[in-house]
Amino acid sequence: DIQMTQSPSSVSASVGEGVTITCRASEDINNWVAWYQQKPGQAPKLLISGASSLQPGVPSSFSGSGSGTEFALIISNLQPEDFATYYCQQTHSFPLTFGGGTKVEIK
Amino acid sequence: QLLLQESGPGLVKPSETLSLTCNVSGFPISTGYYWGWMRQPPGKGLEWIGSLYYNAQIFYSPSLKSRLTLSVDASKNLFFLTLNSVTAADTARYYCARGFDGYNYNFWGPGTLVAVSS
């Protein structure tokens, strides 16, 4: 199985600031990474597929980068609705695997 | 509008069988796409359980494969999860979802919480 190691596990930031979340795959997965946002009591929401392709309706303040084994989710100009937990997921092969999650909290 | 809704028992006794249903509305399962199950233990991260493509492939998590069956009733637009011999480690919120390529899931149900306890 491909392991996805996500860091940090939590980060505090203020409204208007930016944060970067990283995800490392245990082997080369090209650009086969998705990013999800999950708010308390809600199902995950797909933000980005293919490492950098924004899903329809996702604000441009979200962006993704990386290839091979190193990936990043960048959130610029944090808004109150962006405070949530974020997960990476490898979309290279079955079994699908997720990172452990990063909780973005308000400072 | 595509909607998914999970349903299940809420509470299952250890060693018994967990059966969940995902009711899909707004899109025929038989038309295409992948349909999957994920779960999330309370306060923890996401785990992929399995995915299927109608009348074609079914993929199972290796860690659950010996206890797991995924199936579809296209006539009722439902798909199902059956997990045998459950333990407390199977306590989680279970989600059904639709994936546009089997790997990326862009439509999710709200989830159903299942507790395994005597």
Q: Return the DSSP state at B37.
A: E
The residue of chain A with its CA nearest to that of B63 is A95
Which candidate in B94, B103, B108, B112 is best for mutational testing of the A interface (most A CBs within 10 A)?
B103
pLDDT in tens, A25-42: 999 999 999 999 999 999
pLDDT in tens, B43-84: 999 999 999 998 888 999 999 999 999 999 999 999 999 999
pLDDT in tens, B80-108: 999 999 999 999 999 999 998 889 999 99
With H, G, I as helix, E, B as strand and everything else as coil, classify residue A81.
helix
Q: Are the Cβ atoms of B104 and A34 closer than 8 angstroms? A: yes
Contact in structure between A3 and A26 (CB atoms under 8 Å): yes
- The residues, ordered by sequence, that sit 6+ positions from B62 with a Cβ below 8 Å of its Cβ are A1, A95
Answer yes or no: is pLDDT of B32 > 90: no
Of B45, B101, B103, the CB nearest to A98: B45
A13 pLDDT tier (thresholds 50, 70, 90)? very high
Cβ-count burial A69-87 (b if 16+ within 10 Å, e if not): bebbbebeebeeebbbbbb
Of B47, B51, B108, the CB nearest to A43: B108
Of A55, A94, A98, the CB nearest to B106: A55
Residues 32-61 of A with CB under 8 A from B: 32, 34, 36, 38, 42-46, 49, 55
